[in-house]
Amino acid sequence: MNSGDCLLWVLYASLLALLPTVLVAIPALPIRWKRSLGFLLTVAFCLLLIVVGIHALASPALHASIPGPLTDLAWQFTLDPLSGFFLLVLGSVGFAASLHAIGYFHHGSQSKLKQVLLPYPVFVTAMVWVLLAANAYTFLVAWELMALSSTFLILVEGQDQRRQQAAYLYLLIAHLGALALFVAFALLSHGDLISNGNFQRMAQLSDSPIVANAVFGLTLLGFGAKLGLLPLHAWLPEAHPAAPSPVSALMSGAMLPIAVYGLLRIDWQILPAGAVWWGPLWLGLGLCSALFAVLYSALQTDMKRLLAYSSMENMGLILIALGLSRIFAEQNLWPLAALALIAGLFQVLNHAFFKSLLFLGSGSVLHATGTLEMSHLGGLIRSMPQTAFLVLIGIFALAGLPPLNGFASEWLLLQAFLLAPSLPSGMLRAILPLAAAGVVLVTAVAAFAIVKFYGIAFLGRARSAVAKQEAGIWERASMAFLALFCVLLGVFPGRVVDSLSHITALLLHGSQIAHQSALALTPISAQRASYLPGVFLLGIALSIAVVFVLVWWRFGRSLRRAPVWSCGFAADYSAQTQDSPTGFSQPLLRIFGVSLSTLRNRQGGRNTLPVQIPDPFWKGFYLPWGRVTLWIAGGISRLQHGRITSYLLYSFLTLIVLLVFFR
């Protein structure tokens, strides 16, 4: 493939990938063909994205321009290492999600398939266009397309009131963010989006510090809304559970990182060197967001809500890495900034793999049992053994256990934190290790949450819901692909770090980390810190094998299955005596003092006590803002009283004002 044509190939392919949208509208095709062909086209497109992404990581930047609606306004695209990396992430998640979707929508009706296949390719293509966009116009159009198509995808599973509210909230916050981005672009282009809209042109224009700070704040608002940053996170725990699992995987693994891409593209490449407080702001916000999210993820009872809060926590960790990198870059400590940035980008890649694995796994659970409520599940490891094993690998990756991939990026981040003594500022030098302790607490509570996720749903005995069958072959294949890469990325992190160095060279004035060997991770020097995951894996496997062989050889006798002892309480042995999900996290709740609201409902003679864990930001942030907005709107509506004479007076006054002040 000729390098120069790479970008054009991707653009043409993205148009071709919209074919399923057309296909599904043809009534003559049989439904199985539509489903398989539609999703397989997306699978092929995502494979192309993976190849192009890997290729672009090591190649110089490519540009393309397609004439647009106005003579001066063109669709401009660019493919550089940064876009290439995020295309790789999108391609991997899209590949797995689309494979899974073939099996997931197997029993869907014709209309449901139409509801999915219309927006789904548009969603993937819109994300590709956002990543390739080179001017503000293309970026914003693709951004809006992404938000709209995902809103319709949320409504696929049904249109009950909860889903409608989730879709509405998601669209509202996405539009608020898009508005902030629009103003940011307008400021960056000095008011002339048509001639100054190109990103490279924006980078050449100089901005006063006030404008730069304003743009920084607006992009934080805009991309933070998409990242799920505090306090604009309310849509995340509603939208992810409402959408079907392949879509949730795509949203969490591919769409959230696009906000990270936006932050890197605009706040790093386009804006000039920023103020000193930008890095610490990102770090602080990321830490608060991660702490809040991980605590709430440990308290959830719905599997997908737990994963949604966990995604928010991972995005917080990524923002922490970016903030740390910014702090080092401000002091011109380029190699250290490169290390922190690589840690953040590696975390993006790892999160895409293990989080989508877990989302797809919960989709298979929903398919087999009909519910995602953990208080009904249990014992799935016996009825769905292969799914349980693959999800177990995702669990280990999320919990940050060596030698899988989650640990590699966490290790790099902690190493970056330990370089804090190189900073000249005494206060930062003292605070950064405390932030590192915060990161460690976040990872530890995340391990708590994910052990709860796996232990209650998959282990033990079934509480009330029983799995009817194992997951389908498509579903298992997609999860196996993701699990395999969780292991491979963990055992060969040196390769990943080397590829990511191209991005740091792009963003950090050419600084890179020393070349890593394939098997060892020695980011600064072998003396300073070294981690050999291959040796780890071999060592553990060897020790386990040796122990097993020795014990079996000397003391081996066949095992006998007996009723569980349970300290003699096995007589009344209902499955409900196991911990419920709320009971499992009750000590955490009590320690961190989250307020719990329980509602008492009388339903036909039986009392039910549903336990809800309300998000404090609803009462403290969203509802007051909602009330203020309604109050303002109520005040303005008093102008609309229907008398035409007043309306004529308003027009006359406006005309006079315009003539006087804006002649």
Partner 1 sequence: MTSLIGWRDQCFQILFVVAAAPLLAGWLQTVRALLQNRRSAGILQPYRDLFRLFHKETLIPEQSSWLFQFAPYVMFGAKIMAVAIVPIIANGLPLASAADVIALVGLLAVARIFQVLADMDTGTAFGSYGAHREMLISALAEPALLAALFTASLLARSTSLVQIVHLSQIQLFSIHPSMVFAAIAFGFVLLVENARIPVDNPATHLELTMIHEAMVLEYSGRHLALLEWAAQLKLFLYMTIGFALFLPWGIAAKPSLTSLVIAAGLVLVKLFFAVVVLALVETLLAKKRLFRVPEFAITGFLFGVIGLLSHFMLGS
| Residue 638 token pair | 């008093």
Task: Name the token pair of 247.
Answer: 């879509």
Least distance from partner 1 to the Cβ atom of residue 590, Å: 6
Min separation Cβ 378 and partner 1, Å = 7
Output the smallest distance, CB 558 to partner 1, in A.
Answer: 9
Closest-CA residue to 253 (of 311, 322, 305, 321) = 311
551's tokens:
């014990």
Cα(304)–Cα(575) distance, rounded to whole angstroms? 23
Does residue 3 bind partner 1 (CB under 8 A)? no
Q: Which of 318, 319, 259, 305 is nearest to 130 (CA)?
A: 259
Measured in residues, the chain has a length of: 663
**Among 29, 50, 179, 588, contact with partner 1 (rule: CB under 8 A):** 588
Between 83 and 578, whose beta carbon lies closer to partner 1? 578
**Which parts of 29-88 interact with partner 1 (CB under 8 A)?**
none
- CA-CA-CA-CA torsion sign (336, 416, 227, 407): positive
Separation between Cα atoms, residue 292 and residue 281, nearest integer Å:
16
Question: Rule CB under 8 A: is residue 175 a binding residue for partner 1?
Answer: no
Query: Which residue's CB is nearer to partner 1, number 444 or number 658?
Result: 444
When the beta carbons of 373 and 579 are compared against partner 1, the nearer one is 579
Does 452 bind partner 1 (CB under 8 A)? Our answer is yes
How far is CA 477 from each of CA 51, 87, 474, rounded to the nearest angstrom? Answer: 20, 22, 5
Site string for partner 1, 386-415 (x = CB under 8 A): ----------x--xxxx----x---x--xx
Cα–Cα dist 468/576, whole Å: 20
Q: How far apart are the C-alpha atoms of 512 and 165, rounded to whole Å?
A: 46
Pick one of 3, 332, 577, 654: the residue that binds partner 1 (CB under 8 A): 577
Binders in 643-662 for partner 1, by CB under 8 A: none
CB 119 within 8 A of CB 152: yes
Say whether residue 565 binds partner 1 (CB under 8 A).
yes
| Distance (Å) of CA 493 to CA 88, 532, 571 | 16, 9, 51
List 602's β-bridge partners, or say none: 607
Neighbours of 660 (CB within 10 A): 8
* 197/494 with CB nearer partner 1: 494
Binding to partner 1 (CB under 8 A) within 461-500 occurs at 461
| SS3 call for 272 | coil
Q: Do 254 and 127 form a contact (C-beta atoms < 8 A)?
A: yes
Between residue 422 and residue 441, which ones bind partner 1 under the rule CB under 8 A? Answer: 426, 429-430, 433-434, 436-438, 440-441
For residue 212, which amino acid is it? Answer: A
| Comparison of 140 and 467: residue with beta carbon closer to partner 1 | 467
355 near partner 1, rule: CB under 8 A: no
Residue 338: both structure tokens together: 């490169």
Within 103-132, the residues that bind partner 1 by CB under 8 A are none
Q: Does the protein bind partner 1 through residue 455 (CB under 8 A)?
A: yes
Which of residues 179 and 462 has its CB atom nearest to partner 1 in the complex?
462
**Rounded CA gap, 375 and 377, in Å?**
6
Residues that bind partner 1 (rule: CB under 8 A) add up to a total of 82
The reply to whether 536 sits near partner 1 by the rule CB under 8 A is: yes
Instruction: List the interface residues with partner 1, window 544-563 (CB under 8 A).
Output: 544-548, 551, 554-555, 557, 559-563
Report the alpha-carbon distance of residue 490 to residue 466 in Å, rounded.
34
Binds partner 1 (CB under 8 A): choice among 66, 484, 518, 564: 564
Would you count residue 443 as binding partner 1 (CB under 8 A)? yes
Return the number of the residue (437 or 658) whose C-beta is nearest partner 1. Answer: 437
Question: Within positions 367 to 386, which residues make up the interface with partner 1, using CB under 8 A?
Answer: 378-379, 381-382, 385
Q: Which is nearer to partner 1, 1 or 562 (CB)?
A: 562
Q: Which is nearer to partner 1, 563 or 635 (CB)?
A: 563
Separation of alpha carbons 648 and 654, rounded Å: 10
The three state secondary structure string of 415-434 is: HHHCCHHHCCCHHHHHHHHH
From the CB of 286, what's the least distance to partner 1, in Å? Answer: 17
List C-alpha distances in Å: 228 to 239, 309, 362, 633: 11, 9, 21, 27
> What is the nearest approach in angstroms of partner 1 to the Cβ of residue 539?
5
Residue 514 found at the interface with partner 1 (CB under 8 A): no
Q: Which one, 590 or 627, has the nearer CB to partner 1?
A: 590
Q: Which is nearer to partner 1, 85 or 454 (CB)?
A: 454
Nearer to partner 1, 276 or 430 (CB): 430
Q: Identify the DSSP state of 602.
A: E
Query: Which of residues 58, 275, 473, 535 is near partner 1 by CB under 8 A?
Result: 535
One of 105, 448, 453, 485 touching partner 1 (CB under 8 A): 448
- Rule CB under 8 A: choose which of 540, 632, 648, 653 binds partner 1: 540
- In the complex, the smallest distance separating the C-beta of residue 189 from partner 1, rounded to whole angstroms, is 44
Work out how close the CB of 402 gets to partner 1 at its nearest, in angstroms, rounded to a whole number.
4
Span of 31-39, 477-485, 532-540, 602-610 interacting with partner 1 by CB under 8 A: 532-540
The residues, any chain, with a CB within 8 Å of residue 132's CB and separated by 6 or more, are 7, 10, 11, 77, 78, 79, 83, 87, 138
Shortest Å, Cβ 540 to partner 1: 5
DSSP state of 302: B
